[in-house]
A and B are shown apart, each in its own frame.
Chain A
Amino acid sequence: MNDYKLTILRNQKVGEGIYEMLLTRPDGVEPKGAQFIHIKLKNKAKILRRPFCICDCDGEGILICYAAVGEGTKELAEYAAGEEVEAVLPLGNGWSADGFKRPVLLGGGMGSAVLPLVARLAKRAKPVAYLGYANAGKVVLTERMESLCPTVVATDDGSFGRKGYITDILAQDITSGKVKPDAIFCCGPEIVYKLLLKNPAFADIPIFVSLEKRMGCGVGACLVCTCGIKTKDGVKNLRVCADGPVFDLREVIL
């Protein structure tokens, strides 16, 4: 982990309000799946860096995929190829699919951005991806995922792929025996986590989630990013940046 100056190789719109930014990979940096990058904005009035998961990393460079939701990400969308950004990476502990045989990689909306690198780095595991989006305009990264592992895509309104909530679709496929995951790795809005906990189809499956919390330092020093986690010593406020960002969903206080 270090603070690097990275050159933007491309930064382009890939969906409604969604962008992919490809950055040069510093020598020797080998990010693990579900690690993240902390990018400094050029507007000096915005003093906090913005965290994004390392979506993919290959010979091309380091990819992030982000939604322009607020002032910082809108500023990021304006940056042009050839410009430099300052970023600390790789941060967080990451997650490897290789602890399991047939894990399902479940993405809800922008949460899908964490999955390509996890799929790419799976050596022994044979993951299957389930990606859910609100509508066709929000569908991103599906081709990349399809090139890495079998992938099921759905939209809430049926405008692309199968129709319905991705958790329902996965539950159907588990119940029908189409997939038999020995773990689920998930990133998505909180509602997805609540549905995973509620649906009996997932009751016996370990579920790991990559959490998002507002961050300060990103490296474990300031304690602003904590989340309540059940531990053997009771509930502790652990640091999402340094103790996570991946936790066992059943231990997370949502």
Chain B
Amino acid sequence: MNTSVKIAGVTFKNPVITASGTFGFGKEYAEFYPLSALGGICTKGLTIEERQGNPSPRVAETPSGMLNSVGLQNPGVDYYLQHYDKWLAGQGTVVIANIAGHKLEDYSAMARKISESSADMVELNISCPNVRSGGMAFGVEPASVRRVTEAVKRACNKPVITKLTPNVSNIADNAKAAEDGGADAISLINTLTGMAVDYRTRRPILANNTGGLSGPCVKPVALKMVWDCYNAVKVPIIGLGGIQSYTDVLEFMICGATAVQVGTATLSDPYAAFNIAKDLEEYARTNDVDLNELIGTLQLNG
């Protein structure tokens, strides 16, 4: 049996990584369990400057899911390097720094900063609006996905994961664009744009009006997109969207994911990622399987 997987030369002891924005910088959850039980952790999205994010309410529960409009609140990359980088490096798990920006230069500058950090990999959040193209997200047009990925690859000495947004017409085209731009891996999906409305006040619940949908309700969308991308690119895929259990992880791996991320499930249950990793190991042991053998083994119905 084997639960370890490898992405761009980095070994994860198991395929379970915590998703950006749902795990802070790990300190809160280190009080519940040793982070070394996880394959990896992905930090909250970092930007060059500190950001205060959007007004509240920033969360709305929806059937089997939730919308968030945090708006990339984070203490800025310099604060991260000073206060979290070293601590994270000592946790015995793979560290992925998630970075964001509003201009191409922001991404390059972030990539240079992260190059000096102890992070093992960098993940590009390209769901943010690009101020130079009327606010359309970097992740929408394949050409722009390629450009951001190239810029980061040039500036960064760590393996680069491009995180794809599902709010596009054909995600496989964007996966290909990321691969062409030099991405060492891709991750998907980021949140789906949505809205929750209060019929009494006739107003959206989120102060920001719209937000990103996540949680179990997005899993079918994510599985289909992982499969589509698996058939379009050769680079490894990190699958996420609604994962709550080890069987969800197996489904993502069968659809082509080499590793997965657990996001919203951690909000429902602080032990979610820990338990999923433990259950996966148990599954691999009882069935004597190497999880790598599952990747992309989906058999379509005739």
Chain A residues with a Cβ under 8 A of chain B: 1-3, 40, 44-49, 86, 88, 213-217, 219-228, 235-237, 242
Contact = CB atoms under 8 A, between A and B. Distances in A.
18 contacts: A3-B270, A48-B66, A49-B267, A213-B56, A213-B57, A214-B56, A214-B58, A215-B59, A216-B68, A216-B267, A217-B28, A221-B23, A221-B29, A221-B266, A222-B70, A222-B267, A224-B70, A225-B59
| Complex A-B, nearest 8 residue pairs according to Cβ-Cβ distance, in ascending order | A221-B24, A224-B59, A216-B267, A221-B28, A224-B58, A219-B28, A45-B64, A217-B267
Interface residues of B, number: 34
B271 interface: yes
Given A223-B58, A242-B28, 17 more contacts: A3-B32, A3-B269, A3-B270, A40-B268, A45-B63, A47-B66, A47-B216, A213-B57, A214-B60, A216-B68, A219-B29, A220-B28, A221-B266, A223-B24, A223-B73, A225-B56, A235-B52
A165 B31 CA distance: 43
B129 interface: no
B270 A217 contact: yes
B118 to A, nearest CB: 21
Given A47-B64, A47-B215, A216-B66, A226 B53 contact: yes
B22 A3 contact: no
B200 to A, nearest CB: 12
Contacts of B53: 223, 226, 237
A237 B28 contact: no
B189 to A, nearest CB: 17
A62 B28 CA distance: 24
B144 interface: no
A46 B73 contact: no
B28 A224 contact: no
B28 A226 contact: no
Interface in B179-205: none
A44 B52 contact: no
B65 interface: yes
Contact of A214 (B21, B59, B215, B266): B59
B261 interface: no
Given A47-B215, A221-B29, A3 B56 contact: no
- Chain B binding surface, main DSSP class: loop
A220 B44 CA distance: 12
Contacts of A88: 270
Most buried by B among A2, A48, A219, A221: A221
Contacts of B264: 47
B282 interface: no
A216 B268 CA distance: 8
A216 B69 CA distance: 12
Given A217-B270, A226-B73, A242-B28, A44 B64 contact: yes
A136 B64 CA distance: 38
A242 B29 CA distance: 13
Nearest to B266: A217
B268 A48 contact: yes
Contact of B59 (A44, A48, A86, A228): A48
B293 interface: no
A215 B216 CA distance: 18
Nearest to A240: B56
Contacts of B290: none
A84 to B, nearest CB: 15
B61 interface: yes
B61 A47 contact: yes
Interface string B227-270: 00000000000000000000000000000000000001011111
A215 B58 CA distance: 9
A222 to B, nearest CB: 6
A46 B60 CA distance: 11
B65 A217 contact: no
Contacts of A215: 59
A216 B28 contact: no
Given A47-B216, A48-B59, A227-B56, A222 B24 contact: yes
B52 A236 contact: yes
A49 B271 CA distance: 14
A81 B264 CA distance: 30
Contacts of A2: 32
Contacts of A3: 32, 269-271
Interface string B26-65: 0011011000000000001000000011011111110111
A202 to B, nearest CB: 26
Nearest to B21: A222
A224 B56 CA distance: 7
Given A47-B215, A49-B268, A216-B267, A237 B60 contact: no
Given A48-B66, A214-B57, A214-B59, A1 B31 contact: yes
